[in-house]
Amino acid sequence: ATPTPIPPTPTPGLGFYRGIGPIFMPTNNRWITLWVKVYGGSGEGYPIAGWRIQATCNGAVVGVSEPSAATFHYSAPPGYGNRVLYNAKLEFPDPGTATCQAYLIDAGGVRRSPVVEFTVQPVNPNREIYIGFLAVQ
């Protein structure tokens, strides 16, 4: 008898597309703020809970967010120009001049979204960044 080969364990797919951004917004805050919408569906969509944002700058991890929420929130009161709908947020100190990356990770720390790359510089006030990750349907 010939033994049946064990099939390889499949590599998980990414699970998300980049659906929004990155959109850069000015602020006087010296921290970098990532407003992230983790969602499914069409239009404004529906929030998807449980995913974390991980960010790196110049190759080093600079932060991991709390899990995305099951509800959307606005980043500012009505009437503010930089008001975005989000369910995950990550802030980290301004790293100076750096090439940074942001992406979603699952509970095991595995990247599950495309990498969104951006650069920051002390002279550039666009330190608020809006990104949306849309679930693969």
pLDDT for the residue 82: 86
| Mean pLDDT over the full length of the chain | 91
64 and 54 Cβ atoms separated by less than 8 Å: yes
Q: Which of the listed ranges 3-7, 26-30, 60-64, 133-137 does the model predict with the highest average pLDDT?
A: 60-64
Q: Within a domain: residue 80?
A: yes
Task: Work out how many domains the chain is built from and give that number.
Answer: 1
How far is it, in rounded angstroms, from Cα 96 to Cα 60? 13
Mean pLDDT of 100-115: 96
pLDDT for the residue 5: 62
102 and 91 Cβ atoms separated by less than 8 Å: no
How far is it, in rounded angstroms, from Cα 41 to Cα 26? 29
Residue 3 has pLDDT above 80, yes or no: no
The domain of 35 spans 16-135
Q: What is the CATH number of the domain that holds 53?
A: 2.60.40.10
Q: What pTM, to 2 d.p., does this model score?
A: 0.88
pLDDT for the residue 35: 98
Mean pLDDT of 81-109: 95
Considering only residues 5 and 109, tell me which one the structure prediction assigns the higher pLDDT: 109
Sheet of 60-64: strands edge to edge?
60-64, 52-57, 98-105, 116-120
Residue length, the chain?
137
pLDDT tier, 14 (very low <50, low <70, confident <90, very high otherwise): confident
Q: Within a domain: residue 11?
A: no
